[in-house]
Structure 1
């Protein structure tokens, strides 16, 4: 079982505008852009991990 401090990095794309960026995905489901900046300017980005995994909940 993964600990609360474990995370992985992935490339994600906003399905709304097409912007691509790096995100951290924490074992508790929290998602945050790498570098502290949002991937795009969309009000409610619809992010999908490149390779098919969808990110439904940005926390």
Structure 2
């Protein structure tokens, strides 16, 4: 299976600033912004999938 076939797309939010965007997610949990190198301007951008927030019962934006 090709590398691009192993990943999926998901909506994610930066924990620091709250910016939302689309990321590629690999089976090992690696998350990379789609079509860009940086998700936002935060120095340490921790990305949380919106589906994880829903499962945790957090409010979505």
Task: State if a TM-score over 0.5 links the two structures.
Answer: yes
Q: Which one has a bigger Cα radius of gyration?
A: 2
Q: Give the aligned CA root-mean-square deviation in angstroms.
A: 2.0
Partner of 1:33: 33
More strand by share: 1
What TM-score, normalized by structure 1, do the two folds share? 0.69
Residue equivalent to 1:44: 44
Structure 2: distance between partners of 1:51 and 1:43: 24
Which structure shows the bigger proportion of residues in helix conformation?
A: 2
**1:30: how far off?**
3.0
Instruction: State the number of aligned residues.
Output: 51
Please say if residues 4 and 26 of structure 1, whose CA atoms lie closer than 8 Å, have aligned partners that are also in contact: no
For structure 2, the 5+ residue unaligned runs are 54-61
Unaligned runs of 5+ in 1: 54-59
